[in-house]
């Protein structure tokens, strides 16, 4: 069958016929791929820049792809033929308490595996076999935007974790019982930044998104439909601090230079959370002794957040469904392109580089 | 202005002109009523059966109505003219910690007030003035089903409370991290029962709803769209226990005779919750010493649940938005009738008795 | 070796020589018994009244005893020769999530086992072998009162569970951040009632204990040292309600007739918890429809609580240590008698019936 | 009356007669000072190094002292003459939700006040008047070590906050339900480091304390009595990492150079917490992009922790009581000196500098 393969640590990507018996499968349910999403991690692998991407043992290629929607090919194990499903991409280590409880996002051994990245094949192929435990049902009504449930699951888990962590504060809720008085700054308006902005809005926070340029159409649409604010950080964050004050939640969703965090820390409110999500590619975050003193006496918290699991995929689908109703224009703008697997040149190009204005690109296997 | 009024403890309901200066208002935002929902509590008042319904001091009538959507008449206090809003119906006592924190659902003094029921006027009138603190923004896309956010808020709060309470169990989540292995039985398929079934489904549980007859169209549609199971309890619950085993959550949403609970208790699983929501009108729930022993050594819990507040209204609106996408046919069946306020006879009839097959009836003030 | 054995469902108890190879052992650490505690459950077995007491398969006797302190006989597996240890008496089912997480108190299968009660031998014998997982280190300084850590673990778990459950209330803490304004009524002043009173006091609540007679010396000492209040309920609870108002927590620690609960329910405050701990031997708890309505609209909760696990044994030992400092007189009164295993007649008598004024009786194997 | 006063930002300390009407009082209960504790913060003020120490308005001196035990002079407001009490040193802003809920440790406005430090008089004076809300009862049995409840309250709050934050992990508890498998590294063995080590031990963790020298008598006693491990970090932390692996909790209790954190971060385990407590006086904590990536994909968390409130004082007293039983030798070593207020020279010397081997020094007003 056809598959999109990579050969880390070497750069490069190919569409190639692979032997069915040679690639990794994970269970009894046969799933024919409908869509794959492409994300920044895929491109880092393709461009030979993701240090923790590794080949399977005894093989010189890895099937790429950790975002997928497929169709159940034959009824099995509680799933019916024709149902849409989505695989959870991180798989448990089989040993630690959290993995056994279905939560490899908090794996204790570090041996949980990200399919399509770390030595185990992903989902950019005609079909694969998978286990019920890692399959999420996707309602037909979400066939159009459903692929976003994978990155959104990571975001949903992060928001859940931040809300859990804030239970350390006796009352983090507002005078009316909601979170409407809490203000979040989401830095970066790639797909992750947009999904964070929408998810935080959905749980009730007031949200500012920022990027180093004027807002594009998607951002303008989010401002209008979802009442998310936008800040152009081209000249830094002083103006934002001066006009809007401090933020209770700040999310770095850029993957830019770590020194960005130096300029965000002064915007963090007492009892606030600085959430780290993106992987900075360079630079240093420097906290001098005054910064540390401030973190201590104002109860500030810095947290690394990663990987949504099955409960988060399920909640992501509910969020996507609600956004289709509440923010129909924005929802339509989230999938910027669908490329047929038969259009090989376009597929490979999309895997190598991000297009202007791209939010999420899908490969269609139909 | 016109208003629908009652005179508890006397039975009866009228549409009457009331003086603007005579009725209760709660703030600065003027709101023109668009819709009112009618619920069982309204009918109990109308029929003189709600013992805790009371007249305002120094007045011989009470404006009825605790479910409303209105339009902001003039921009004020952060709300813009033309915005849709919904009032939270229970108002804080102004004294206790929970009311001050925006959570009169957990009022400590018992002096929180239910507007339209307990001595303070409700929303079945042309317009009223209200306070920002108790107003929930309703997206235009939810004008059709939005009125359900009031009863749904009560349900959302109840589900939140049950999930909070179950954190007593080290792992109440399933092997895949979700709640998919947890099974809920919702007894009664009036509006509350239906909303409970959908809300529990939305957080991941498998759901059985039951009523003492064959499923009607709404229930059939829920079975098909939302994969909710249905059990005809006409002959009792033995068959259900025999074929399906025990349930982790059982909700009494009937308001029937309290002895119903005698037949539900044997279906409650270890570590399970029996949630009481409806107000039983008669009868006794009898727990003999064996029942108590079983509750003790199987960690069982019985909980009374009541009243959603502003955060629950907000979440209810997200749920309704998601259901419009995921369960479009069911969503359309939830509002069974809209009656114009000008059709006085129909309005008064609807206030006196529930029609066959009714789920939610709205009065339109347009 | 010598062992105290029973033959359920038959009444009776003997001290008998049993073969080492015939009785149950649970691991590699050899432990020589120092003390056994006797509790009501033991006496119910001895008197043939505990319906869930069962014999081991293929054997006609069961070694009694679920409260023990022993000395490690040979260094092994992280324990040193001479260390004092205490076994956790309930053992996991080996299958369910909670048992695997060390919490068989929330076993999902019902197949967790209570040693000394349900088909597996207990600790009233010269020595046994046990597993590290179920052994709690006992500081030498607690040799005198340490045996109480077994029943106290059950109480500590119950208090922890109630505090966890009350997180459903936005602010259950008081205006000064403590629990000093919360009031508990503990009904029954046997060992469990006394331990509940002290444990609730230790987490900050104001406590009333009640019994149907004037306070004895232990209760007077608790009143004086621990500022616990006492109520003589000989004439019922009306006087208590009239003079003290309602209670946020009510614990039934009597094991009396279930109808006692009928008289306690009216004393339960809004947002309150009625905690069931004792096993009522007869009677019925009747909740009429008004009672149910009140439970619903005042957020009341009834909870069955059972069995402390290893973390609760550890916390119980900390509590006992603090009480020795804070309540030295009360602490000394808690162990009312120590009987040598060589005084067979006295041992058997103590196993058959509770003496006047008894709180906890120990058997010494020294 | 006599009082110990300072004149920030100027260095210096005096014992001086102050007018009763001139100094700050906070309520109706008159309290005669029994003991004051001296801590590092006091010395920073005395030496003119605490930038946020400020004078009261319209006055040229501030009464020093935030650690005190006193005797109630006249029965009042629920307190009896002769009772020992301890003041909570931080007072709420009177405005924000958390201060109103008795938790100024999470003040939202930043206007909560630390008595004896920030513009309001402290407790180093013959007597003061205080409010019930901020007074903690101290059992007579803790007269000797009770003064430690103030710094210990800060530690207890920090441990509580870390345990709350770790509820983000589905199972942070171990296979036996306890926290015995979790390992903490406490850096610095001043009073705060010692109290952290003991408090973490009390909730079940395995603890390593470290300092840049061989262990002194107190540390040797803690090793022996409380089974706390000790590491000499004179040559850095490589040896510790190599022999003991990573730590789930790392506490900086040094107040040393911030660059210390650079050497601690590599020792932090997945899902771990780096707790910042001390105020570093110099230096920079540098997180390069690899560090940030590691924080992100291993769920690491950095948290600033500060100030215990009344519930933490109460729990601190329970801990101190338990330690007197469990660790009697260590408990006796914690108060290293008691100086009479009449020995002015010694008092002033103790306020200026820390003596060799000092843990906690008390001033006695008897
Ligand atoms: Zn991705
Ligand atoms: Zn794992
Ligand atoms: Zn209603
Ligand atoms: Zn209230
Ligand atoms: Zn027992
Ligand atoms: Zn189990
Ligand atoms: Zn201090
Ligand atoms: Zn404040």
- A12 and A77 housed in the same domain: yes
* CATH number of the domain within which A234 lies: 3.40.50.720
pLDDT in tens, B178-227: 999 999 999 999 999 999 999 999 999 999 999 999 999 999 999 999 99
- Looking at residue D51, its pLDDT comes to 84
Residue A78 and residue A42 share a domain = yes
A271 located within any domain = yes
Tell me the C-alpha distance between A361 and A338, whole Å.
Answer: 6
Give residue A164 CA to ligand 2 midpoint distance, Å.
Answer: 21
Determine, for residues D282 and A289 on separate chains, whether the beta-carbon distance falls below 8 Å.
yes
Select from C304, C309, C310 the residue whose CB has the most chain B CBs within 10 Å, as the one to mutate to test that interface: C304
C138 pLDDT more than 90 = yes
Indicate the helix (H) or strand (E) that contains C275: strand C268-276
Q: Is it the case that residue A293 has pLDDT exceeding 90?
A: yes
The pLDDT, as a whole number, for residue B278 is: 84
Q: Report yes or no: A164 at the C interface, CB cutoff 8 Å.
A: no
Residue C310 within any structural domain of the chain: no
Asked if residue D56 has pLDDT above 90, the reply is yes
Instruction: Reply yes or no: is the peptide bond before residue B60 cis, omega within 30 of 0.
Output: no
**Per-residue pLDDT for C248 more than 90?**
yes
Q: Are B185 and B251 in contact (CB under 8 A)?
A: yes
Ligand nearest to the CA of D98: 8
CATH of the domain at B81: 3.90.180.10
- At D255 the pLDDT is 85
Rounded to the nearest angstrom, the distance between the alpha carbon of B313 and the centre of ligand 2 is 38
Q: Which of D58, D57, D44 is nearest to D9 (CA)?
A: D44
Query: What is the pairing mode between strands B206-211 and B183-187?
Result: parallel
Residue D164 Cα, gap to closest chain A Cα (Å): 6
DSSP sequence for D185-248: EEE--SHHHHHHHHHHHHTT-EEEEEESS---HHHHHHHHHH--EEEE-TT-SHHHHHHH--EE
All residues of chain C having their beta carbon less than 8 Å from the beta carbon of residue B167 are 164, 167
Please compute the mean of the pLDDT values over residues A135-161 and round it to a whole number.
98
- When pLDDT is averaged across residues D131-136 and rounded to a whole number, the result is 97
Can you tell me the distance from the alpha carbon of B201 to that of B179, in angstroms, rounded to the nearest whole number? 10
Please report the pLDDT score of residue B179 as a whole number. 98
Q: What angle do CA B8, B13, B19 make, to 5 degrees?
A: 85
What residues have CB less than 8 Å from C171, skipping those under 6 apart? A170, A171, B97, B98, B101, B103, D101
If asked whether residues B184 and B106 sit together in one domain, one would say no
Contacts of residue A235, Cβ cutoff 8 Å, sequence gap at least 6 = none
Give residue B320's pLDDT band: very low, low, confident or very high (50, 70, 90): very high
Please answer whether residues D98 and D107 qualify as being in contact, where contact means their C-beta atoms are separated by less than 8 angstroms.
yes
Instruction: Return the sign of the alpha-carbon dihedral for residues A279, A280, A282, A284.
Output: negative
CA of C333 from ligand 4 middle (Å) equals 43
Mean per-residue pLDDT, A59-76:
97
Residue D145: inside a domain, yes or no?
A: no
Q: C touches which chains (3+ CB pairs under 8 A)?
A: A, B, D
Of D280, D179, D288, D186, the residue nearest D231 (C-alpha): D186
pLDDT at C207 over 90: yes
Q: A4 to each of A32, A65, A116, B366, how far by Cα in Å?
A: 15, 8, 10, 58
Q: Based on the fold, state whether residues B193 and B295 are members of the same structural domain.
A: yes
Task: Please state, in angstroms and rounded to a whole number, the distance separating the CA atoms of residues B339 and B357.
Answer: 16
User: The complex's ipTM?
Assistant: 0.97
* pLDDT confidence of residue B98: 97
Site from A95, A103, A133, A170 to mutate, C interface, most C CB atoms within 10 angstroms:
A170
Q: Which whole number is the average pLDDT over A231-245?
A: 98
**Residue B177 forms contact with D (CB below 8 Å):** yes
Q: What is the pLDDT of residues C16-59, one digit of tens each?
A: 999 999 999 999 999 999 999 999 999 999 999 988 899 999 99
Q: Check residue C279 and give its pLDDT.
A: 87
Residue with token string 């069955």: C304
Whose CA is closest to A190, among A57, A90, A294, A279? A279
Name residues with Cβ closer than 5 Å to ligand 7, which is an ion: D 39, 41
- Quote the ligand 6 centre to B326 CA distance (angstroms): 37
What the block records as the tokens of A116 is 């399509």
Q: Is residue D225 part of a domain?
A: yes
Distance separating alpha carbons of residues C197 and C204, to the nearest angstrom: 11
Give the ligand with the smallest distance to the CA of C306.
5
Q: Which residues contact C342 (CB under 8 A, 6 or more apart)?
A: none
Contacts of A105 in chain D (CB under 8 A): 299
A61 within a domain of the structure (yes/no): yes
How far, in Å, is the centroid of ligand 1 from the Cα of D288?
Answer: 23
For residue D298, give the ligand nearest its CA.
2
pLDDT tens digit string along D65-118? Answer: 999 999 999 999 999 999 999 999 999 999 999 999 999 999 999 999 999 999
Mean pLDDT of A215-229: 97
Q: Are residues B164 and B264 in the same domain?
A: yes
Structure tokens at C66: 């679920």
**Of the candidates A100, A176, A322, which has its C-beta nearest B102's C-beta?**
A176
Number of domains present in the structure of chain B: 2
Q: Is C314 on the interface with D (CB under 8 A)?
A: yes
Task: Please answer yes or no on whether C171 and A170 come within 8 Å at the CB atom.
Answer: yes
> Which of B289, B276, D22 minimizes the C-alpha distance to C281?
B289
| Token pair belonging to B14 | 């009228």
Q: How far is the CA of C226 from the centre of ligand 5 (A)?
A: 24
Sort out which chain C residues have CB atoms less than 8 A from B282's CB and list them: 289
Identify the CA nearest to C187 among candidates C169, C209, C166. Answer: C209
Q: Nearest Cβ partner of D97 from B101, B170, B177?
A: B101
Residue of C253, C290, C303, C305 for testing the chain B interface, max B β-carbons within 10 Å: C303
Contact B101 A171 (CB under 8 A): yes
pLDDT at residue B51 in the model:
84
Nearest to B38 by CA among B69, B67, B62, B9: B67
How many Å lie between the centroid of ligand 8 and the Cα of residue C236? 45
The number of C-alpha atoms within 13 Å of A307 and in the hemisphere containing its C-beta is 24
C77 Rama sector, left if φ>0, alpha if ψ -120 to 50, beta otherwise = left
Q: How far is B275 from chain C (nearest CA, A)?
A: 9
3-state helix, strand, coil in chain A (%, to 5): 35, 25, 40
- Computed over every residue of chain D, the mean pLDDT equals 97
pLDDT attached to residue C255: 85
Question: What are the φ and ψ backbone dihedral angles of C342, each rounded to 5 degrees?
Answer: -75, -20
Write out the H or E segment, with its range, that includes residue A333. helix A328-334
Is residue D278 scored above 90 in pLDDT?
no
**Residue A178: φ, ψ to 5°:** -90, -175
Chain D, nearest residue to A95 by Cα = D175
Q: Which helix (H) or strand (E) holds A197?
A: helix A191-202
Q: DSSP assignment, residue C23?
A: S
Q: Which of C101, C170, C171 is the closest to A97 by Cβ?
A: C101
Q: What pLDDT score does B194 carry?
A: 98
For chain A, give the longest Cα–Cα distance.
62
If you measure from the C-alpha of residue C261 to the centroid of ligand 7, how many angstroms do you get, rounded to a whole number? 49
B150 alpha carbon, closest ligand? 3
Residue A197 pLDDT: 98
Q: Cβ-count burial of D43 within 10 angstroms (0-12 exposed, 13-18 middle, 19+ buried)? A: middle
Interacting residues of A21 by C-beta distance below 8 A, sequence separation 6+:
none
Other C-beta atoms lying within 10 Å of the C-beta of residue D320? 27
Rounded CA-CA distance D41/D265 in Å is 26
| Angle, CA B145 vertex, CA B141 and CA B147 arms, to 5° | 115
A355 — contact with chain C (CB < 8 Å)? no
A295 to chain D: closest CA residue: D304
Closest chain B C-alpha to A7 CA, distance in angstroms: 31
CA dist., res. C261 & res. C267, Å (int): 10
Q: Which residues of B touch C288 (CB under 8 A)?
A: 258, 283-285
Among the partner-chain residues C177, C314, C324, the one whose CB lies closest to the CB of D325 is C324
> How close C99 comes to chain B (CA, Å)?
10
Separation CA B41–CA B45 (nearest Å): 6
Output the average pLDDT for chain A: 97
Which chain A residue is nearest to residue B226, measuring alpha carbons? A139
Q: What span, in angstroms and rounded, lies between the C-alpha atoms of A293 and A270?
A: 12
DSSP secondary structure string for all residues of A150-193: HHHHHHHHHHHHHHHHGGGSTT-S-TTSSSTT-EEEEE--SHHH
Quote the distance between the C-alpha of residue C194 and its chain's center: 10
Confidence of residue D7 (pLDDT cuts 50, 70, 90): very high
CB contact under 8 A, C281 and B289: yes
Distance CA A315, CA B318 (A): 12
Is there a single domain that holds both residue A157 and residue A131?
Answer: no
Which residues share a beta bridge with A335? A360
Contact at 8 Å (CB) between C58 and C11?
Answer: no
Nearest residue in chain C measured CA to CA from B95: C175
Shared-domain flag, residues D117 and D163: no
CA B272 to chain D, closest CA, distance in angstroms equals 20
Distance from C-alpha of D315 to C-alpha of A236, rounded to nearest angstrom? 46
Cα separation, B310 vs C309, whole angstroms: 39
Asked if residue C317 is part of any domain, the answer here is no
Chain A contact present for C170, CB below 8 A: yes
Q: Distance between CA B97 and CA C222 in Å, rounded?
A: 32
* Interchain proximity A292–D303, CB inside 8 Å: no
Q: Which of D284, D304, D324 is the last residue of a domain?
A: D304
pLDDT band for position A34 (cuts 50, 70, 90): very high
pLDDT at C52: 85
Question: Residue D288 in contact with residue D84, Cβ under 8 Å?
Answer: no
Within an 8 Å CB–CB cutoff, is residue A45 touching chain D? no
Instruction: Give the integer Cα–Cα distance in Å for B176 and A309.
Output: 8
User: Are residue D107 and residue D232 in the same domain, yes or no?
Assistant: no
Residue D279 has pLDDT above 90, yes or no: no
Chain D hits for A286, CB-CB cut-off 8 Å, are 284-287
Cβ–Cβ below 8 Å for A171 and C171? yes
What is the distance between the alpha carbons of residues A316 and C93, in angstroms, rounded to a whole number? 35
Give the gyration radius of chain A's Cα atoms: 21
Tens digits of residue pLDDT in B272-299: 999 999 889 899 999 999 999 999 999 9
Whether A69 and A201 share a structural domain? no
Its domain, for residue C89, covers 2-138+334-364
pLDDT at C137 over 90: yes
Chain B CA closest to residue C270 = B108
d(CA C110, CA B36): 49
pLDDT score recorded for residue B346: 98
Task: State the chains in contact with A (3 or more Cβ–Cβ pairs under 8 Å).
Answer: B, C, D
Of D204, D324, D326, the CB nearest to C139: D326
Nearest CA-CA partner of B307 in B47, B98, B125, B132: B98
Tell me, yes or no, whether B179 and B272 share the same domain.
Answer: yes
Of A272, A271, A296, the residue nearest D278 (C-alpha): A296
Let me know if residue A279 belongs to a domain: yes
Q: Which of B109, B114, B275 is nearest to C300 (CA)?
A: B275
Output the six-digit token pair for A168. 């350390």
Angle at B274 between CA B268 and CA B276, to 5 degrees: 150
A297 and A174 within one domain: yes
Q: What is the pLDDT of residue D52?
A: 85
Residue A51: band (very low, low, confident or very high) from pLDDT cuts 50, 70, 90: confident
Calculate how far, in angstroms, residue D67's C-alpha sits from the geometric centre of ligand 8: 21
Q: Are residues A113 and A237 in the same domain?
A: no
A146 alpha carbon – ligand 1 mean position (Å): 14
Q: Is residue C328 part of a domain?
A: no
């Amino acid at each position: 069958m056809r598959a999109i393969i990579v050969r880390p640590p070497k750069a490069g990507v190919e569409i190639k016929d692979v032997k069915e018996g040679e690639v990794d499968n994970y269970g009894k349910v046969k799933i024919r791929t409908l869509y794959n999403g492409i994300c920044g991690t895929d491109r880092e692998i393709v461009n030979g820049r993701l240090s923790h991407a590794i080949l399977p043992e005894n093989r010189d290629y890895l099937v790429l792809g950790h975002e997928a929607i497929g169709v159940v090919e034959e009824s099995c194990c509680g799933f019916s033929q024709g149902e849409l499903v989505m695989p959870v991409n991180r798989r448990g280590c089989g040993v630690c308490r959290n993995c056994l409880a279905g939560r490899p996002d908090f794996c204790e051994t570090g041996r949980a595996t990200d399919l399509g990245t770390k030595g185990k094949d992903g989902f950019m192929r005609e079909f694969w076999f998978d286990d019920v435990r890692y399959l999420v049902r996707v309602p037909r009504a979400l066939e159009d935007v459903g692929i976003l449930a994978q990155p959104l699951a990571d975001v949903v888990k992060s928001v859940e974790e931040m809300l859990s962590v804030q239970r350390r504060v006796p009352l983090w809720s507002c005078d009316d019982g909601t979170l409407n008085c809490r203000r979040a700054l989401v830095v970066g308006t790639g797909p992750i930044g947009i999904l964070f902005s929408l998810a935080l809005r959905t749980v009730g926070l007031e949200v500012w998104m920022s990027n180093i340029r004027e807002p594009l159409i998607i951002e303008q649409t989010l401002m209008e439909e979802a009442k998310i604010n936008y800040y152009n950080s081209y000249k830094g964050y002083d103006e934002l601090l001066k006009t809007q004050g401090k933020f209770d939640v700040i999310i770095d969703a850029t993957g830019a230079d770590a020194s960005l965090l130096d300029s965000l820390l002064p915007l963090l409110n007492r009892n606030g959370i600085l959430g780290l999500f993106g992987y900075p590619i360079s630079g240093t975050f420097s906290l001098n002794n005054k910064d540390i003193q401030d973190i201590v006496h104002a109860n500030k918290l810095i947290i690394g957040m990663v990987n949504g699991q099955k409960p988060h995929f399920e909640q992501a689908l509910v969020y996507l469904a609600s956004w289709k109703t509440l923010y129909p224009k924005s929802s339509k703008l989230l999938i910027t392109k669908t490329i047929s697997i038969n259009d090989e040149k376009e597929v490979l190009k999309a895997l190598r580089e991000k297009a202007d204005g791209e939010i999420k690109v899908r490969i269609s296997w139909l």
